[in-house]
Amino acid sequence: MNICEKQHRYASILNNLPDSQSSDEGRHLCAGCAYEKGYSDGLNNQKCKLAELNLPYSQAGTGRHKSAQAAYDLGWQEGNQKYCS
Ligand SMILES: [Zn+2]
Protein backbone atom coordinates (compact mmCIF):
# COMPACT_ATOMS: atom_id res chain seq x y z
CA MET A 1 0.00 0.00 0.00
CA ASN A 2 1.28 3.41 -0.99
CA ILE A 3 1.33 5.92 1.88
CA CYS A 4 1.75 9.64 1.24
CA GLU A 5 4.50 11.31 3.25
CA LYS A 6 4.49 14.69 1.52
CA GLN A 7 4.17 17.94 3.40
CA HIS A 8 1.32 19.35 1.41
CA ARG A 9 1.35 23.07 0.90
CA TYR A 10 -2.40 23.17 0.79
CA ALA A 11 -2.90 21.76 4.25
CA SER A 12 -4.82 24.79 5.51
CA ILE A 13 -7.17 24.57 2.53
CA LEU A 14 -7.93 20.98 3.40
CA ASN A 15 -9.24 22.07 6.80
CA ASN A 16 -12.32 23.48 5.12
CA LEU A 17 -13.24 20.30 3.31
CA PRO A 18 -16.07 18.14 4.56
CA ASP A 19 -15.23 15.02 6.52
CA SER A 20 -15.90 11.78 4.77
CA GLN A 21 -16.25 8.24 6.03
CA SER A 22 -17.50 7.04 2.69
CA SER A 23 -15.19 4.78 0.70
CA ASP A 24 -16.59 5.92 -2.64
CA GLU A 25 -15.51 9.47 -1.81
CA GLY A 26 -11.98 8.34 -1.21
CA ARG A 27 -11.84 7.58 2.49
CA HIS A 28 -8.23 7.43 3.70
CA LEU A 29 -6.88 8.58 0.36
CA CYS A 30 -4.58 11.58 0.64
CA ALA A 31 -6.71 14.71 0.20
CA GLY A 32 -3.58 16.77 -0.43
CA CYS A 33 -2.61 14.61 -3.39
CA ALA A 34 -6.21 14.69 -4.60
CA TYR A 35 -6.13 18.49 -4.49
CA GLU A 36 -2.89 18.66 -6.48
CA LYS A 37 -4.18 16.19 -9.07
CA GLY A 38 -7.39 18.17 -9.37
CA TYR A 39 -5.46 21.39 -9.80
CA SER A 40 -3.31 20.06 -12.63
CA ASP A 41 -6.31 18.44 -14.30
CA GLY A 42 -8.16 21.76 -14.04
CA LEU A 43 -5.24 23.53 -15.68
CA ASN A 44 -5.49 21.07 -18.56
CA ASN A 45 -9.30 21.24 -18.57
CA GLN A 46 -9.66 17.52 -18.18
CA LYS A 47 -11.42 15.58 -15.47
CA CYS A 48 -10.56 12.19 -14.05
CA LYS A 49 -12.47 9.83 -11.82
CA LEU A 50 -11.06 9.47 -8.34
CA ALA A 51 -10.47 5.77 -8.89
CA GLU A 52 -8.30 6.53 -11.94
CA LEU A 53 -5.91 8.78 -10.03
CA ASN A 54 -4.08 6.06 -8.15
CA LEU A 55 -3.80 8.26 -5.07
CA PRO A 56 -1.67 7.22 -2.12
CA TYR A 57 -3.20 6.66 1.28
CA SER A 58 -2.84 9.05 4.17
CA GLN A 59 -3.65 8.39 7.78
CA ALA A 60 -2.29 11.57 9.30
CA GLY A 61 -2.28 15.33 8.99
CA THR A 62 -4.84 17.85 7.89
CA GLY A 63 -6.24 15.72 5.11
CA ARG A 64 -7.09 12.85 7.38
CA HIS A 65 -10.65 11.67 6.91
CA LYS A 66 -11.35 14.46 4.47
CA SER A 67 -13.21 13.75 1.29
CA ALA A 68 -10.64 13.18 -1.45
CA GLN A 69 -13.41 13.81 -3.97
CA ALA A 70 -14.10 17.23 -2.45
CA ALA A 71 -10.36 17.98 -2.42
CA TYR A 72 -10.06 17.02 -6.09
CA ASP A 73 -13.06 19.16 -7.03
CA LEU A 74 -11.71 22.16 -5.12
CA GLY A 75 -8.30 21.89 -6.77
CA TRP A 76 -9.93 21.41 -10.15
CA GLN A 77 -11.98 24.58 -9.85
CA GLU A 78 -8.92 26.63 -8.92
CA GLY A 79 -6.79 25.18 -11.70
CA ASN A 80 -9.56 25.57 -14.25
CA GLN A 81 -9.94 29.27 -13.42
CA LYS A 82 -6.35 29.69 -14.60
CA TYR A 83 -7.09 27.65 -17.72
CA CYS A 84 -10.02 29.92 -18.57
CA SER A 85 -8.26 33.22 -17.85
ZN1 LIG B 1 -0.43 13.40 -0.43
| Confidence bin at 61 (pLDDT 50/70/90) | low
Bridge partners (DSSP) of residue 3 are: 57
pLDDT per residue over 6-43, tens digit each? 888 778 888 888 877 665 655 678 889 999 999 999 99
Q: How many CA atoms lie within 13 A of 24 on its CB side?
A: 0
Per the CB < 8 A criterion, the answer to whether 82 and 49 are in contact is no
Give the start-to-end residue ranges of the domains of the chain. Answer: 16-84
Ligand 1 mean position, distance from CA 14 (Å): 11
Task: Tell me what pLDDT residue 27 has.
Answer: 66
For residue 66, the SS3 value is strand
Question: How far, in Å, from the CA of 6 to the mean position of ligand 1?
Answer: 5
> Quick one: CA dihedral 78, 8, 73, 52, positive or negative?
positive
Task: Quick: pLDDT tens for 64-74.
Answer: 678 889 999 99
User: How many Å lie between the centroid of ligand 1 and the Cα of residue 85?
Assistant: 28
The answer to whether 23 and 49 have CB atoms below 8 angstroms apart is: no
